[in-house]
Amino acid sequence: MNKEVIHVPGLSEGLAKRKVPLSPAIKANGFVFVSGMPPIDTAGDIPLVDVARQTELCLENVKRALEAAGSSLDKAVMVKVFCANAAYYGAINEVYARYFPKDPPARTFVPVSGWFLPFDIEIECIALA
């Protein structure tokens, strides 16, 4: 088994700066595993925005991680959405459908109690390399 840690510009530096012990993406055995991506903007900040915009930021980060690994959203096979409020399901789906308009991947939606930072959603992904 070959395991390759993927450097994701902006995300990798932000994680290192905050001393978060994880890799944003790992490529192994023909797959790309993207860690849960919170709604971090390109400056490395977590803006206080509504859940629709948070969803866009999460999916843009997933997209960036996949592309850094040589993959894409089109190759996603499994997505997990973790959300602090199940009532956001509809708003999240509206944004999500724009990122996966055709043949969407398998998906799990998991309500969680929250995070230690001010955001409502985190999205992780597994894709073909």
Local confidence band at 15 (pLDDT 50, 70, 90 cut-offs):
confident
Q: What is the pLDDT of residues 25-73, one digit of tens each?
A: 999 999 999 999 999 887 778 889 999 999 999 999 999 999 999 999 9
Q: Average the pLDDT over 101-114 and give the result.
A: 95
- 41 CB burial (10 A radius; 0-12, 13-18, 19+): middle
Q: Average the pLDDT over 94-120 and give the result.
A: 94
Query: Which segments of the chain does DSSP mark as H helices, in order?
Result: 11-17, 51-68, 89-99
d(CA 90, CA 96): 10
d(CA 1, CA 6): 16
Local confidence band at 114 (pLDDT 50, 70, 90 cut-offs):
confident
CB-based contact 25:68 (threshold 8 Å) = yes
CATH number 3.30.1330.40 is the correct assignment for the domain at 3-128: yes
Share of the chain above pLDDT 90, in %: 77
The pLDDT value recorded for residue 2 is 87
d(CA 68, CA 35): 13
Q: Where are the domains of the chain?
A: 3-128
